[in-house]
Amino acid sequence: MTHTQPKFVLIIGSVRPGRIGLKVAEWFLQHMRSRDADFEVVDLAHPSDTRTSAVLASADGFVVVTPEYNHSYPGELKILIDAHREEWKKKPVTFVSYGGMSGGLRAVEHLRAVFAELYSVGTRNGVVIHAPWDHLVDGTLELDDAAVASARAAMDELTWWAELLKSARVADQGAA
């Protein structure tokens, strides 16, 4: 049996002008380049199309980069999630959150409940970034080794779940 690299979709949940979500996503992907995984990006600042459904459906798991807006997550992210159902089913999702003092944790807590309802597995590990705008150096997000370690731990767990659930999805298809 040949091992294929897991395919992950990174979703950038912010669409606001002047958003920092793109910088957060770039930071995360930069530190995951050495991973045995493929990443595709869905940026909610660009209109969703029929290709978005296919990209989500082909994923083995998801990384959701989200800010915290009003103690929750962005409306555009809710629209994307609700516009799809089967694409999330039996797949893991990890969160890279950012914001002020809470670092986006309240957004993540809301997202965990939504994804659980869609039969997705939210990972225990994730990345929490407090005040990312204070860590921009010449337009690039620069975070300490602890943040990089949390990103690696999140990806380790996401990959573990992705491989486990992929084999379960394949078994389910074979039984159908």
Residues 127-151 have pLDDT tens digits of 999 999 999 999 999 999 999 999 9
Selection from 78, 26, 38, 46 nearest residue 62 by Cα? 38
Spatial separation of the C-alpha atoms in residues 82 and 87, rounded to whole Å: 11
| pLDDT above 50 (res 1) | no
Spatial separation of the C-alpha atoms in residues 18 and 132, rounded to whole Å: 13
* Measured torsion, CA atoms of residues 149, 150, 156, 161, in degrees rounded to the nearest 10: 180
Residues 52-62 have pLDDT tens digits of 999 999 999 99
Mean pLDDT along residues 32-50: 87
**Of residues 35 and 175, more confidently modeled:** 35
Q: What percent of the chain has pLDDT over 90?
A: 86
Residues 92-117 have pLDDT tens digits of 999 999 999 999 999 999 999 999 99
